[in-house]
Amino acid sequence: MPRTKFQTLTEQMFYILLCLRQECYGMDIMDKVPAMTLGRVHVGSGTLYNLLEQFLEEGMIRETKVEGRRRSYILTQKGRETLDSEYRRLCARVDDYRSIFGEEEEI
């Protein structure tokens, strides 16, 4: 059975939506993601603009400004619900890990 689109998020999807808690331009997102992940996650321009278009189509974000080719976006309630769902999913994975290995386990 195929999974529903955006049922789970990739790291790039998660951090793009997280950036859009506040209004941002696309180029701002490309700078913010590596900054908030200490360089662990990067988003290329092709990936970013493809995902922004998909998020718009799904109603997870909305455009707030258009200045020529420069566009800004912000998270919608549906986008926030998607982020919240992904957060709960990730927490459940951490809980599963802890139940198997315990809190004191060193990584």
pLDDT above 70 for 105 = no
Q: Whole-angstrom Cα distance, residue 93 to residue 104?
A: 17
Q: Give per-residue pLDDT as tens, 29-81.
A: 999 999 999 999 999 999 999 999 999 999 999 999 998 889 999 999 999 99
pLDDT above 80 for 103 = no
Measured in degrees and rounded to the nearest 5, phi and psi for residue 68 equal 70, -125
pLDDT of residue 6: 75
pLDDT above 60 for 107 = no
Say which CATH architecture domain 11-101 belongs to.
Orthogonal Bundle (1.10)
Domains in the chain: boundaries? 11-101
pTM of the model: 0.87
SS3 sequence of 65-90: EEECCEEEEEECHHHHHHHHHHHHHH
